[in-house]
Structure 1
Amino acid sequence: MGNLDCFITDGKKKISIRLERFVVYLQSKVVEAVDEHSQVYYLLFYKNNYLNSFKADSVRRRSFLARALRNGLAFPGSHPLVQAFLPHNRLFQKRSATQLFQKLQSDYTPHETALIITFLDSFLSKKDLFERIQSIYYHYRRNGQIFAGYRILRILVDFTPNHSWVKELSNELGVAKFKKMYQDFSEDLWVSDSLFIEKASFKNRKNPEVFQKLLTHFETEKRPIDGAALIREKMKRNASSGYYDMYQDWMNKHYQNVDQIDILEDLYDLAPHFKPLQQDLLQLYLDSRQLTKAIRLIHHHQLSLPNAQAKTMTKLLEKTDVGKELLQMPELTTYIATLYTDSPDKAELILQKCVNQLMTSHDITYILEWLSTLKEKHIQLPVVNRIEKMKELSDDPDAQMQLGELYYEFSQLEQAIDCFSWEMELDHTNPIPVRWLSKIYYELDKKEESKAYQQLYKDLQRK
C-alpha cells in the first residue's frame, strides 16, 4: 500500500501533499508530509480532530512537536491504520492563528483549549501562548474555582516549569491538597482531570497496570489508533503471544475492513522473529495466492510447513502460471529442492513448469545456471538431465531431430519447428520430421500448414 496523498487548502491555493510519517503522542496526532517541492508540512490533531496545518523548514528544539517526533508512537505514512484515520484525498484547511483560536474556544473546553495551546510552540510565540493559558487560569481564579484553576496550572507546570510565576503559584498553601493528589497519581484523576492523568500514564505506559488503564481509556474515548499504537509498541519491544493476541483482538474489533495482510506485514517489520506471526502471515499469503511472498518467508525463516500448508503450497505452484518475479527468486529453487524430499513427482512437475517458462526468454546456459542450486544438493533431476542433453545437442547439426523432441517436451513449439525443419532440409526422404511438423502446427491451430505437412508425410510413406 502506497503513501497517502492529501491536500491542504490555503485560501484559494490547493497544495498536494504526501504523508511520510504519522505520530501518536499524548492527546495529539502529528502528520509529517511533503509537497512536490519537498517542502515539509505538519498536520496537527487533537485526539481524533484536525486542528491546523503548518509549513515548517525546521522544528524548534524542546518544542512539543520535537518531543512528539522523538518520543511518539510512529507509523509510516503508508500504514493501513493511517489510511483508515485519514480518508484518501482528504482536504485540510489551513487556518490563521486567529481562526484557530476561535475554533478552540467554540469547540473545546477551556482546559482542552489550554492543553492544545501547548502543542503550538513550534509555530507561534511561546510567550503569547503562555499568556493565553494564563488568562484562562485567571478566569477560574476570579470565579473562585480553585481546583479548575489548579488544573490549568498543572498544564503550565509542564509547559513552562521554570517560569517564576508558575513556580510561585504551584507552591501556594491553598493548593497543597491538590498538589499531593497529582503527585500520588490518584485514581480520582481519571474522573476529575483525565487530561493530566492520560499524559502521566502515557509517559509511564511500560507499567502493565497503567498500560491496561490507557487501553480502557482509549476504548471509552473511541480512539482506536491510539490503542493500536500502544499495543504495537509492546510487540516491537517484547513480542509475546499475550500482546499478539491482544493486537489481533483490537484489530478485529476496530478495523474489520482493513486488509489483514497489511496489518501483519507491518507487525512483521517490527517483530520478524515471532513464530506465530510468521505462520499467520504465511497462511494469509497462501489464502491470497501470493506465492512470491510465501516462498520468501519460508526461505528466510526456514519454516517447516504443516501438512495442510505444504499441500496448499504445492497445489498453488502446480496450478499457477510461474511469473517472471517468482522465477527470479533464488528462494524458489531452494523450496523446490526441499519438496523433492517428500514429493519428488510433484517437485518434478513444478520444476518442469518453471523451465518451460524460462525457455521463453532465456537460453539454455542461463537455465542450467538457474538449476545449479538443485544440482548442488545432489538430487536426481530428470529435468536437469534433459536440459544438459539439450546443451550438448545444440551445436550438433546432425542431432536436430533429438533436440526438437526435447524442445517439444518443454512446450517450446517454435524452437521445435526450427529443429524439425532443419532435419527435413537435411534429409528430404525422412517422414519423421514431417510428421512432427504436422503435429506441432496442428497444436498451434495452424490447420492449413498442418494439412500440408500431413499430405507430405503420406506421400513420403508411399515412396
Structure 2
Amino acid sequence: MSNELLLSTEISIKDKKKTFIGKVVRTAIMANTKVMQVRTADAEDYYLVYYRKSFIFGDNLNNVTEGSFIDKAFQEGIVFESAHPMLSILIPKQAITIPNRSKLFPQLQTHFSPQEIAYIATTLDSFFEKAALSKLIEQIYFDHKRNGKFMKAFQILQILSEFMPQLKSANERMSSLEFSSYHDFYHSSNLPAILKKDPLYVQLYCFKNRNNPDAYIFLENILKSNESYIEMIVLWLEKVRRFQKAEEIDSYTRIARKFLTMKEWILILAEEKVNPFQVLPEAKAIIEEIIMAGNYEEAATFLLKFMNDLPVTYDSILKKLWENVDAEFVGSHLDHFISILQRQGNEENHKQSEAQVYQLIVSMLKGYDLKTVYDKLQPLQKVLPHSLIFRKLSKMAKMLEDPDRMMELGDYFAEFKQYDPAIDCYSWEMELKPQDPDPVWKIFKMYQQKGMATEAAAYQKVFAQLKEIQESV
C-alpha cells in the first residue's frame, strides 16, 4: 500500500543502560514463536524472539547464521515485510527490556513448562552456544526421566533430536526399547489423540505441514479454540497470498474485526492484492466517512491500487476526489487520476476539470521544466482533448524554440505563477529590445509577485527612465 497510510512500526528497546527506538523491518511467525528484525538509527539490526505473547530474548546481530532458528523462521515461516500494514499489528505496544543472559533461563522457569523451556531454548541458538542449549535441554530430559515421567522425557528427546539431529545419544535414546511405546504412539496415533498428550508437538507439526489441507484445518481449529485470532488471520493471509483467492472473506472479516479497525483490515487485504472494495460491502461507507471529514487525499490513497477495478457505485466518490484533491497529490499519482477521468466519460464533466488541471500544471511546473510537464501530461490531454488549459500548455511547449515569442511565453509562465521562468523570458526580450519599456515593466511586476521589493523598485526605476525617453522622442 502507499506510504501515506503505513501504520507505525516503531518499538522501544532497553538494552543494558541504553534505551532507543527502532523500526521493525520484518517479522516472521513460526507456530507459537515470532521473530522481529529491528533496525536502529545507527543501522544496527536487533533480532527479538517472542514465545506466544511473551518477549524472550534479543540482541544485536551482525549476521544471522545459516541454519539457525532465526534463519529458518524467515525462510520457512510466515513473513511480513516493513511495507505490510499487518506488521504494526504484530508489534507489541509496550517497550521491551532485554534480560540478563545469565538470569534468562531461571526466569523462564517461573512462566513456562519444562517442555516449553526446552523448545524456547532451540529458538535462541543465534544468541547462545548451541552446545550449551543442548546441555540445558538434556538436563530437562534427565530430570523427567529420574522422576519417572517417561512420556515427558520422550517429548524432550523429540525436541532435542530436532534441534541437534547429529547428536547420536539423543537418536539412540529415542529408538531405545524403554521409549518404544511412546515412539509408536506418536507414529501411529491420530492428531486429536496426540493433542491431548502433547499440544506443543501438534502445533509445531501442523505449522510445519500447513500446506497439507488436513494439517492446515487442524491448526486452524486449534487456534480458534485458543481464541488466537491474530494467528488465525496470519495463517489465512498466507493462504490468500499463496492461492490469490480470498475464500471465507465474511467469516475472516468477523475474526479480524475482533482486533482490527475496518480501515486496518482494508489496508491488509489490499496489501495481499485482494480488492476490499469488491469483497467488503462496508468499505464504501468507510471511504465516504473519510471524504465527509474532508480527508480527500487519504480517501484517494485507499483507492489508488484498485482505481481500474472499482464497482460503478464508486463513480460519485471518484468524481469528488478529482474535484477536491490537492494538485500536488494528483501529480504524484497521475496515472491513477487519468483512470478517474476516463471513468467520468463525458465532456460536461471534463469542462468542470479546468480549474483542477490549471492547479495541476502550476504544481508540476514547480518541480519540472516545461517540456517534462508537457510530456507527462500527454495521457491526460488525450482524456480532455478540448481543455483550454492544455492548449495553452501546448503553445508554451512550441514557443520554447522560438526566440521571437519570448514575451508571449513569459506571459503564459506568469499566468501559471512561474515567475522566474517568466523573468527569464522577459529578460531575453529586454536584451533584444533594450529601449522597449514593456519587458522591463513585466519584470517589475514579476518581482512584485515574488515579494522582492528591492529588485522590483530597481526595475520600476528603469521602466520610468525608458518610458520618459520613449515619450520625449
TM bucket (normalised to shorter chain) is 0.7 to 0.9
2:101 maps to which residue?
97
For the pair 1:44 / 2:45, whether they are aligned, the reply is: no
Q: State the distance in 2 between where 1:58 and 1:36 align.
A: 18
2:241 maps to which residue?
236
Q: 2:357 aligns with which of 343, 354, 357?
A: 354
2:231 maps to which residue?
226
Structure 1 residues 230-286: Cα deviation after superposition (integer angstroms, max 9, x where no partner):
111111110223154454333123324762343233223xx68x9946998788556
What amino acid sits opposite 2:221 in the alignment?
T
Q: 2:347 aligns with which of 339, 344, 348?
A: 344
Query: CA 1:54–1:185 in structure 2 vs 1: closer, same or farther (change >3 Å)?
Result: farther
For the pair 1:322 / 2:326, whether they are aligned, the reply is: yes
Q: Provide the identity percentage.
A: 21
Given that residues 53 and 93 in structure 1 are in contact (C-alpha distance below 8 angstroms), is that contact kept between their aligned partners in structure 2?
no
1:372 maps to which residue?
378
What amino acid sits opposite 1:250 in the alignment?
I
Query: CA 1:267–1:278 in structure 2 vs 1: closer, same or farther (change >3 Å)?
Result: farther
For the pair 1:15 / 2:20, whether they are aligned, the reply is: yes
Query: CA 1:241–1:391 in structure 2 vs 1: closer, same or farther (change >3 Å)?
Result: closer
For the pair 1:293 / 2:296, whether they are aligned, the reply is: no
2:257 maps to which residue?
252
1:189 maps to which residue?
194
Q: State the distance in 2 between where 1:55 and 1:396 align.
A: 65
1:7-86 alignment runs, 5 A limit = 7-77=12-82, 79-86=84-91
1:216 maps to which residue?
221
1:448 maps to which residue?
none
What amino acid sits opposite 1:170 in the alignment?
M
What amino acid sits opposite 1:196 in the alignment?
Y
Query: CA 1:378–1:82 in structure 2 vs 1: closer, same or farther (change >3 Å)?
Result: closer
Query: CA 1:234–1:387 in structure 2 vs 1: closer, same or farther (change >3 Å)?
Result: same
What amino acid sits opposite 1:228 in the alignment?
I
Given that residues 65 and 71 in structure 2 are in contact (C-alpha distance below 8 angstroms), is that contact kept between their aligned partners in structure 1?
yes
> 69-78 or 330-339: which moved more?
330-339
Q: 2:174 aligns with which of 167, 170, 176?
A: 170
Q: 1:158 aligns with which of 142, 155, 162?
A: 162
Structure 1 residues 109-128: Cα deviation after superposition (integer angstroms, max 9, x where no partner):
11111111111222212222
Deviation, structure 1 residue 100: 0.7
Q: State the distance in 2 between where 1:308 and 1:285 align.
A: 12
Query: CA 1:55–1:364 in structure 2 vs 1: closer, same or farther (change >3 Å)?
Result: closer
1:265 maps to which residue?
270
Q: 2:115 aligns with which of 97, 111, 114?
A: 111
Query: CA 1:38–1:2 in structure 2 vs 1: closer, same or farther (change >3 Å)?
Result: farther
Per the normalisation by structure 1, the TM-score is 0.74
For the pair 1:331 / 2:331, whether they are aligned, the reply is: no
Q: State the distance in 2 between where 1:40 and 1:398 align.
A: 59
Given that residues 328 and 364 in structure 2 are in contact (C-alpha distance below 8 angstroms), is that contact kept between their aligned partners in structure 1?
no
Deviation, structure 1 residue 353: 2.6
2:144 maps to which residue?
140
Structure 1 residues 295-317: Cα deviation after superposition (integer angstroms, max 9, x where no partner):
74355xx43x5432112211332
1:373-388 alignment runs, 5 A limit = 373-376=379-382, 379-381=385-387, 384=390
Structure 1 residues 331-361: Cα deviation after superposition (integer angstroms, max 9, x where no partner):
25633652463x3212220244322553477
Given that residues 35 and 73 in structure 2 are in contact (C-alpha distance below 8 angstroms), is that contact kept between their aligned partners in structure 1?
yes
Q: State the distance in 2 between where 1:392 and 1:33 align.
A: 53
> 46-55 or 5-14: which moved more?
5-14
1:432 maps to which residue?
none
What amino acid sits opposite 1:21 in the alignment?
R
Given that residues 19 and 78 in structure 1 are in contact (C-alpha distance below 8 angstroms), is that contact kept between their aligned partners in structure 2?
no
Deviation, structure 1 residue 204: 0.9
Structure 1 residues 92-149: Cα deviation after superposition (integer angstroms, max 9, x where no partner):
2222232111111111111111111111222212222122111211222122222121
Per the normalisation by structure 2, the TM-score is 0.72
Q: State the distance in 2 between where 1:280 and 1:257 align.
A: 8
Given that residues 45 and 52 in structure 1 are in contact (C-alpha distance below 8 angstroms), is that contact kept between their aligned partners in structure 2?
yes
For the pair 1:121 / 2:125, whether they are aligned, the reply is: yes
Gaps of 5+ in 1: 413-424, 427-463
Query: CA 1:317–1:160 in structure 2 vs 1: closer, same or farther (change >3 Å)?
Result: same
Given that residues 282 and 297 in structure 1 are in contact (C-alpha distance below 8 angstroms), is that contact kept between their aligned partners in structure 2?
no
Deviation, structure 1 residue 68: 1.2
Given that residues 141 and 153 in structure 2 are in contact (C-alpha distance below 8 angstroms), is that contact kept between their aligned partners in structure 1?
yes
Count of aligned residue pairs for this structure pair: 400
Given that residues 4 and 77 in structure 1 are in contact (C-alpha distance below 8 angstroms), is that contact kept between their aligned partners in structure 2?
yes
Given that residues 5 and 17 in structure 1 are in contact (C-alpha distance below 8 angstroms), is that contact kept between their aligned partners in structure 2?
yes
Q: State the distance in 1 between where 2:158 and 2:129 align.
A: 20
Given that residues 20 and 33 in structure 1 are in contact (C-alpha distance below 8 angstroms), is that contact kept between their aligned partners in structure 2?
yes
Deviation, structure 1 residue 386: 6.8
What amino acid sits opposite 1:260 in the alignment?
W
Q: State the distance in 2 between where 1:175 and 1:366 align.
A: 77
Q: State the distance in 1 between where 2:407 and 2:152 align.
A: 101
Q: State the distance in 2 between where 1:307 and 1:6 align.
A: 42
